[in-house]
Structure 1
Amino acid sequence: MSQTASTGYDAHLRVWRGDAAGGGLTDYTVEVNEGEVVLDVVHRLQATQAPDLAVRWNCKAGKCGSCSAEINGRPRLMCMTRMSVFARDETLTITPMRTFPVVRDLVTDVEFNYTKAREIPSFAAPEGLGPGEYRMRQEDVARSQEFRKCIECFLCQDVCHVVRDHEENKEAFAGPRFLMRMAELDMHPLDEAERRGLDRARAVAEEHGLGLCNVTKCCTEVCPESIRITDNALIPMKERAADRRHDPLVWLGSRIRRRGRGD
């Protein structure tokens, strides 16, 4: 009785090893089995050859955003990147996200993103409404829900060349993930930020660097949740910010609305 041929093979990996002081690529040969993802192979590498390899991961289901890295130069989630998308004789180069400081090996310090998150004013709830009393049209719910699929893997932040290639922009630029958050709040029909004196469109342009985004759509291309960051968030936000600043009719309408509310 003949035995079924094994579907496993040996893959050639080049993994970045080092810390903030420096490092380089180290070559490994690791066994790969059918159906595995890159994170499976990295775990096998840890178990068999490099027990001190630092890698961040949690859910292994594409929902926590922890295992972000760059595979052959492209920002990806290791747990959602199947080995089958690469040729068996192809060398896989796995490196940490380039935009953020290295802690050790494949782990980076993403504090930049949490700093930017804290700078964004939160949702301004309507006065006089309690939990369960909000009412919205379904199309508004659907529009906002797309952006809430974000798992904060920060791949869009990593690939954005505004900060990837220009470290000096980090102070003035929030990045696509948080520009998207500002857009989500600005289009929310129940957000009353303007009534409370906060012009989100002005703030995102003047304080969070919306003008630095030149809509290359690289952020959309790497999003594991397929959020159309550029088309559905950043471009509409740019249009609203330009209208409020330069369109006299839009400016006059906002003044009339404020006066009508007694502001």
Structure 2
Amino acid sequence: MKVFRGDSSGGEFVDYTVDADEGQVVLDVIHTIQATQASDLAVRWNCKAGKCGSCSAEVNGLPKLMCMTRVNSFRPGEPITVAPIKTFPLIKDLVTDVSFNYGVAKEIPAFRPRPPEADGRYRMMQEDIERGQEFRKCIECFLCQNVCHVIRDHPDNKPRFYGPRFFVRLAELEMHPLDTEDRTELIRKAAGIGMCNITKCCTEVCPEDIHITDNAIIPLKERVADRFYDPFRWIFGKLRA
């Protein structure tokens, strides 16, 4: 296995030879390397069950969760290369600084429910609830952020583009049947949804199989278009004014 070793000042891939047992995942091999050959190898992980999103990396050039990538999915004798995700600044070895994402999360207005009904209860249609249920599966692995070329290839876009993970978050809030907050202007400007050209690369790498492009990004684009670029709505607004 070739593992990237280094920090923000530079680094290189280092070869490690490890006997992999049946059923092991890439993260198991990384732990074996830590225990037997490189105790200072830095890697972020937590649950090892595909639920925390911590162990994101690029395995043979593909964005993966190391804990969900089985060693036997590669051909016998095929070299396995493990590198940190590219879009975020490198801290050390396989650990990157993903704090950009937490900053974006703070900019999104929180859920604001409408007042309850006269009996003090909230009532929703089941189909309305199910529409946003898919988005709650997100484990914040940031693999979608990593492959999004808008920020992967153009880091200077980060101040103007939230990225697919946060379009999922915005869609979850906007489609909630009880939410009353209007985030359309934020989606258009601060979130920069117009910069997304719907290549679906984010959908392809999502370990939770969330249909990010079709079910989150495109509906948000439609909301922005209806609000700001519909000529009939513009004319009607002028007449009312």
TM-score bracket, shorter-length normalisation: over 0.9
Q: CA deviation at 1:241?
A: 0.7
2:154 alignment partner, one of 166, 181, 190: 166
Query: Quick one: distance in 2 between partners of 1:202 and 1:250?
Result: 16
Query: Quick one: distance in 1 between partners of 2:235 and 2:126?
Result: 30
1:92 alignment partner, one of 80, 88, 92: 80
**Aligned residue in 2 for 1:143:** 131
2:198 alignment partner, one of 215, 218, 230: 215
Letter in 1 for 2:210: I
For the 8 Å contact 2:162–2:192, the answer to whether it is kept is yes
Cα gap change, 1:24/1:254 in structure 2, threshold over 3 Å: closer, same or farther? Answer: farther
**Aligned residue in 1 for 2:47:** 59
Runs of 4+ in 1 over 6 A off after TM superposition: 252-255
Query: Quick one: distance in 2 between partners of 1:39 and 1:254?
Result: 57
Query: Quick one: distance in 2 between partners of 1:237 and 1:28?
Result: 46
Query: Quick one: distance in 2 between partners of 1:15 and 1:169?
Result: 29
1:231 alignment partner, one of 208, 214, 218: 214
Letter in 2 for 1:221: E
Query: Quick one: distance in 1 between partners of 2:83 and 2:157?
Result: 23
Cα gap change, 1:97/1:239 in structure 2, threshold over 3 Å: closer, same or farther? Answer: same
Q: CA deviation at 1:248?
A: 4.4
Query: Quick one: distance in 2 between partners of 1:135 and 1:90?
Result: 55
**Aligned residue in 2 for 1:190:** 178
Which has the greater radius of gyration? 1
Q: CA deviation at 1:41?
A: 0.8
Q: CA deviation at 1:95?
A: 0.4
For the 8 Å contact 2:59–2:83, the answer to whether it is kept is yes
Using structure 2 for the length normalisation, give the TM-score: 0.93
1:202 aligned to 2:185? yes
Letter in 2 for 1:237: L
Question: The residue matched to 2:186 in structure 1 has which SS?
Answer: helix
Question: The residue matched to 1:29 in structure 2 has which SS?
Answer: coil
For the 8 Å contact 2:129–2:177, the answer to whether it is kept is no
Using structure 1 for the length normalisation, give the TM-score: 0.86
**Aligned residue in 2 for 1:31:** 19
Percent of residue pairs identical: 63
**Aligned residue in 2 for 1:81:** 69
Structure 1, gaps ≥5 residues long: 1-12, 194-198, 256-263
Across the aligned residues of Structure 1 and Structure 2, the Cα RMSD in angstroms comes to 2.0
- 1:54-94 Cα deviation digits (max 9, x unpaired): 00110000000010111011111000011111111111110
1:112 aligned to 2:100? yes
1:244 aligned to 2:227? yes
